[in-house]
């Protein structure tokens, strides 16, 4: 997995290992999800360009890699939603999760499109492309996935406005 390993915290009194939870776990999960999301976006863009070049088999590999990284990012964003203790972190993580899910689905459909095209199944390829376009359009409804730095700044602003 991308990112650093889960930090280990050991109690001085009982030598038990503690696990990260709450806001700290949510922030870590968001950061890891964002890293995977950005890589998946790059792979998706590269694969789309490869389709334009007519290299369908190569593009399918890119779509498959993007789908896998989007899936991983969805898992991390889901963890962030579950662990978050504040509204800003929850809202941003949920929005990122929904957008990454749409893009994951689009990458899956685009992979299917390239395979169907290679098999000469143009009707099926067109349907897959249409389905992918619908998911890409749906993804635009969730805006931009903010960087972890932007998230921390927004959370700090929220805390300041509450005081």
Q: 9-68, pLDDT tens digit by residue?
A: 666 777 766 555 678 889 999 999 999 999 999 999 999 999 999 999 999 999 999 999
The rounded mean pLDDT for the chain is 88
Full set of structural domains in the chain with CATH = 21-149 (1.20.120)
The structure's pTM equals 0.83
**In this predicted structure, what is the pLDDT of residue 1?**
43
Tokens of 64: 């498959």
Q: Residue 103 half-sphere exposure, CB side, CA atoms within 13 Å?
A: 33
Mean pLDDT of 98-105: 98
Q: Residue 2: which pLDDT band, with cuts at 50, 70 and 90?
A: very low
69-83: b or e for each residue (b if 16 or more CB lie within 10 Å)?
A: bbbbbbbbbbbbbeb
Scanning the chain, the segments in alpha helix (DSSP H) are 22-52, 56-83, 87-118, 122-140, 148-162
Mean pLDDT of 74-103: 95
Tokens of 53: 């070049």
């Amino acid at each position: 997995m991308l990112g650093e390993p889960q930090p280990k915290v050991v109690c001085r009194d009982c030598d038990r290992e503690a696990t990260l939870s709450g806001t700290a776990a949510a922030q870590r999960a968001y950061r890891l999800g964002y890293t995977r999301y950005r890589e998946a976006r790059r792979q998706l863009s590269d694969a789309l360009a490869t389709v334009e070049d007519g290299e369908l088999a190569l593009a399918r590999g890119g779509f498959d890699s993007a789908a896998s990284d989007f899936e991983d990012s969805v898992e991390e964003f889901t963890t962030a939603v579950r662990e978050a203790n504040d509204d800003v972190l929850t809202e941003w993580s949920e929005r990122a999760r929904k957008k990454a899910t749409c893009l994951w689905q689009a990458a899956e459909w685009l992979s299917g499109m390239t395979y169907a095209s290679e098999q000469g199944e143009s009707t099926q390829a067109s349907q897959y492309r249409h389905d992918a376009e619908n998911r890409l359009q749906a993804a635009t409804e969730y805006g931009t996935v903010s960087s972890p730095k932007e998230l921390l700044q927004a959370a700090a602003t929220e805390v300041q406005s509450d005081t």
